[in-house]
Amino acid sequence: MTLWRQSVAELTKKTRGGDLSATELTNTFIDRIAAHDPTIGAFLDPMVEPARGQARALDAMPASSRGPLHGLPVAVKDIISVEGSPCTCGSRILESYVPLFDATIVERLKRSGAVILGKTNMDEFAMGSSTENSRFQTTRNPWDLDRVPGGSSGGSAAAVAARLVPAALGTDTGGSIRQPAALCGVTGLKPTYGRVSRYGLVAFASSLDQAGPMAASTEDVACLLEAIAGDDPRDQTCSNHPVPAYAKELDRDLGRPRIGIPRSAIGDGIDDDVAAAFAAFIEGLEALGAETREIHLPATEHATSCYYLLATAEASSNLARYDGVRYGRRSATETGLHEMMAASRDEGLGEEVKRRILLGTFVLSEGYYDDYYQKAQRVRSLIAQDFRAAFDQVDAIVLPTTPTPAFPIGEKVDDPLSMYLSDVFTITANLVGAPALSVPIGLSEKGLPIGAQLVGRHFDESTILALGHAFQRGSEFHSAVPALARD
């Protein structure tokens, strides 16, 4: 089989065994990026030369020091710091910003032998569900070039879908790994809050942000998670909970797992093709021995409201640092200090980011703090209670990742509320800090990928990964490659 179609486990077995050099493997994907990315636009910077240098260094290493991901090219979303390469976050205000250090997860990938192959496009500061809010370029869905790849990790999802890299990292504050994974037909995991270090990631909403892997299969995702998960004293929210051997645990016997289906997951507002694929997915899980039951999560109908109040409040605070003083863009038009800051932010930040900063500032402002910010935090507690009660009865919760397949580029760009509502199924996992895996479960009539999520207990990625893996052993959807990328 051609190299680029092979799994992370197959590729790293070859590189570790010396049958394939890191340089050969890296060049295979560099060639694919050169052939296909001009059409797709997944990469802001393919980092070809640094990747070649890294591969050469890996090839010069003694065989005994080869890591588990030896020579594996991995792309990272442009919100994750890689020393010496620009980290723009899709924003003009950080266009010239070059990090002086690697994010912990990049450091861990490198230590495992991975080659960082490129920074991927994203919605500005991860705010968006279509990657259309990038200030630099449009990323197209490899399954239909007139449609969005989803967002905000749309570049990472599109890159993996077209197999321009075998795996990528994204970040997920309200669905930004899972939603683009679903719309591009790849597998993506948002780990438990605290499972993966966020040191070196640009913060959007700190009580919700988490980084995680995206790849073709659950097995690939498990290999990546094993490399990036674990304690980091530099991120105080990061947990020192032991890291299991996720890839080994994929094949464990799950017995008769109990799976909960929330009523909203089969309710109104879901596209017919998505509903049909989701029903078939549930049948597939039942055929594997799962016992399914309907569960009720009453407070989750308020999740979208709760999320947009809290996430924007946190964002307005986190993004106050972009003021043209210490790094990033400074406006040359103003002479006073405050005028310079306001002008730098005006020139440097895009429309959606400004909108969210204003909303967050409103939510936190005098007279509204109690009614909006604190109220939303209390609603968040109710949503968490619903989840705790549900997990007393079930081992995992399933729901569609998105209500519809990928929508056309431009369709929702002038209607922020309708864009926000496309996150309805993903944001609850962020609000409660639970791990959630999106797997491809079918194609729509128009040939667009559809995904479903498995949500697990805190720090129990192993169960949802094992379920996803069991499903994918009997399914071909995760191996499907869009027509334009098959050569």
Partner 1 sequence: MAKLDEERVEALAKLAHLALTDEEKRRFGGQLQEIVSFAERIQALDTSGVAPTSRALLEAGRSGDAALRDDTTTQSLERERVLDGAPDSGDGLFKVPRVLP
Residues 278-307 that bind partner 1 (CB under 8 A): 299, 302, 304-306
Question: Residue 379 corresponds to which amino acid?
Answer: V
Tell me how far, at minimum, the Cβ of 308 lies from partner 1, in Å: 6
CB of 307 to partner 1, least distance (A): 9
Choice among 7, 129, 153, 176 that is catalytic: 176
Which residues ranging from 405 to 434 are in contact with partner 1 (CB under 8 A)?
416-417, 420, 430-433
Phi/psi at 32 (nearest 5 deg)? -70, -40
User: What does the alpha-carbon distance between residue 165 and residue 162 come to, in Å, rounded to a whole number?
Assistant: 8
Using CB under 8 A as the binding rule, the residues of this chain from 88 to 147 that contact partner 1 are: 96-98, 100-101
Sheet strand arrangement including 291-295 = 43-45, 115-120, 73-77, 167-172, 210-215, 187-190, 436-443, 449-455, 396-400, 258-262, 291-295
Closest CB to partner 1 among residues 96, 393 = 96
Chain mean position to CA 288? 27
- Candidates 352, 274, 368, 356; CA nearest to 318 is 356
User: How far is 440 from 424, CA to CA, in rounded Å?
Assistant: 18
Q: How far is the CB of 486 from partner 1 (least distance, A)?
A: 40
Catalytic residue at 190? no
Of 3-11, 50-58, 378-386, 474-482, the segment contacting partner 1 by CB under 8 A is 378-386
Binding region for partner 1 (CB under 8 A) out of 11-19, 107-115, 281-289, 360-368: 360-368
Q: Which of residues 234-263 bind partner 1 (CB under 8 A)?
A: 236-241
Q: How many CB atoms lie within 10 A of CB 476?
A: 8
Distance CA 128, CA 232 (A): 28
Which range binds partner 1 by CB under 8 A, 153-161, 251-259, 268-276, 368-376?
Answer: 368-376
Residue type, position 152, single letter: S
Which positions from 59 to 88 touch partner 1 by CB under 8 A, shown as an x/- string? ------------------------------
Catalytic residue selected from 81, 152, 153, 438: 152
Q: Does residue 381 have an active-site annotation?
A: no
Q: Is 13 a catalytic residue?
A: no
Question: Taking the complex as a whole, how short is the minimal distance between the CB of residue 36 and partner 1, in angstroms?
Answer: 33
Q: Where are the alpha helices (DSSP H) in 319-350?
A: 337-348
Contact pattern for partner 1 over residues 314 through 353, marking x by CB under 8 A: --x---x--xxxxxxxx---xxxxxxxxxx-xx--x----
Task: Name the residue nearer to partner 1 (CB basis): 39 or 365.
Answer: 365
Nearer to partner 1, 309 or 464 (CB): 309
- Report in angstroms how near the CB of residue 349 gets to partner 1 at its nearest: 8
Cβ-count burial of 363 within 10 angstroms (0-12 exposed, 13-18 middle, 19+ buried)? buried
Residues 272, 278: Cα–Cα separation, whole Å = 10
Encoded amino acid at 378, one letter: R
Q: What is the closest distance, in whole angstroms, from the C-beta atom of residue 45 to partner 1 in the complex?
A: 17
Of 25-33, 143-151, 180-188, 367-375, which part binds partner 1 (CB under 8 A)?
A: 367-375
Binding mask 23-62 for partner 1 (x = CB under 8 A): ----------------------------------------
369 touching partner 1, by CB under 8 A: no
- Site for partner 1 (CB under 8 A): how many residues? 78
> For partner 1, which is the closer residue by CB, 64 or 236?
236
Q: Which of 377, 411, 413, 460 binds partner 1 (CB under 8 A)?
A: 377
Residue 78 CA to residue 99 CA, distance in Å, equals: 11
The secondary structure element, H or E, covering residue 316 is helix 303-318
| Residue 48 vs 98, nearer CB to partner 1 | 98
- Looking at the Cβ atoms of 382 and 443, the one nearer to partner 1 is 382
> Quick one: CA torsion of 243, 244, 250, 256, rounded to 10 degrees?
-110
Give the bridge partners for 169, in sequence order: 76, 213
Catalytic residue among 77, 110, 119, 412: 77
Nearer to partner 1, 272 or 339 (CB): 339
Closest separation in Å from C-beta 341 to partner 1: 5
Residue 487 tokens read as: 């050569």
Structure tokens that stand for 37 in this block: 């990315």
State which H helix or E strand residue 362 sits in: helix 351-363
Query: Largest Cα–Cα distance of the chain, in whole Å?
Result: 69
Whose Cβ is closer to partner 1: residue 115's or residue 303's? 303
Would you say 59 or 231 has its CB closer to partner 1?
231
d(CA 450, CA 404) in angstroms, rounded, equals 8
Question: Considering Cα of 411, then 415, then 421, then 427, what sign does the dihedral take?
Answer: positive
Contact 439, 474 (CB under 8 A): no
Q: Which of residues 174-233 bind partner 1 (CB under 8 A)?
A: 192-194, 207-208, 231, 233
Rounded to 5 degrees, φ, ψ at 219 are: -60, -45
Contact pick of 2, 19, 49, 378 for partner 1 (by CB under 8 A) = 378
Q: Which two tokens stand for residue 82?
A: 């890689």
Q: Which is nearer to partner 1, 138 or 207 (CB)?
A: 207
Q: State in angstroms the smallest separation of the CB of 207 from partner 1.
A: 5
**Which residues within the stretch 453-472 sit at the binding site for partner 1 (CB under 8 A)?**
458-459
From the list 240, 248, 149, 169, the residue with the least C-alpha distance to 211 is 169
State the Cα–Cα distance between residues 443 and 458, nearest whole angstrom: 30
Catalytic residues: 77, 152, 176
